[in-house]
Amino acid sequence: MAFGPIMQFAVEKSGLHIELAPLTSESVQECINYEHGGGMQRHGVTRYLGMGMAPTAEDEQEWFDKIRKDQHKLVWGIWLIENDTRTLIGVSALNGIGQDGHTGFIRQATSGSQIFRPEYWGQGIASAAHKARAWYAFTQLGLHRIKSAVIQGNGGSATALGRAGYTFVYTERNEQFGDGKLQHMDCYECLNPLESFWSQWWGDDMPTKAALKARELTREALAWADEHVICP
């Protein structure tokens, strides 16, 4: 696995053209490129990640070499396409694919995303990327569930997850320290809405009202991806 296949789409909110595509050894340096207005060395970019330190070019290269060999991870670069120019503005990932299911019949993963160019925050890019990623996870990988987590206060990330059908499950208190205080982490899940996977997940249990509402949002997300995502 390691890197996910190319998926292209236009963001409804902003009209920006985005490509989810593999990273390269050279491109990962853009993750910390302060000169371009963003980068993982800025506290404002990483304040909700609990990093506590600024990554270096060597750190990013080590991370790239590690994920390139990880058979239980899929990573996409989030690329902005403008005319003939491709600019890396973030990353999106599915981690631990198929590793932590309760039984051999249940497959799940944990998702994560980061847009490290602040000028592209709030433009609908993360929401669209989540929808495309969910479409791939559910229709191509056959996952039953995607988990994610957001540090409280990071409302933009929580909203983006919600638009793809993620629903709140529980809160991990005092998960990390940042901005001078202990911070809580809200945990979310997105369930595969396709009937066979949905039935396997719930079994004889009755889905909650929140789960049924989230299922409709995820169905809408997959329908959007079916119509708008291009896999060349």
Once rounded to an integer, what is the mean pLDDT over residues 148-163? 92
120-136 pLDDT, tens digit per residue, is: 889 999 999 999 999 99
Encode burial over 153-184: b for 16+ CB neighbours within 10 A, e otherwise.
bbeebbebbbbbbbbeeeeeeebeebeeeebe
Count of structural domains, the chain: 1
The CATH number linked to 132 is 3.40.630.30
* Model pTM score: 0.89
Range of the domain at 220: 2-228
Once rounded to an integer, what is the mean pLDDT over residues 4-28? 92
25-64 pLDDT, tens digit per residue, is: 888 777 666 555 456 556 555 554 655 566 666 777 787 8
The distance between the two most distant Cα atoms of the chain, rounded to a whole number of Å, is 55
Q: Tell me the CA distances in angstroms from 134 to 21, 35, 52, 123, 144, one per residue in order.
A: 15, 33, 30, 19, 11
Our CA dihedral for 223, 226, 227, 232, rounded to 10 degrees, sits at: 160
Task: Identify whether the C-beta of residue 114 lies closer than 8 Å to the C-beta of residue 126.
Answer: no
Task: Identify whether the C-beta of residue 115 lies closer than 8 Å to the C-beta of residue 160.
Answer: no
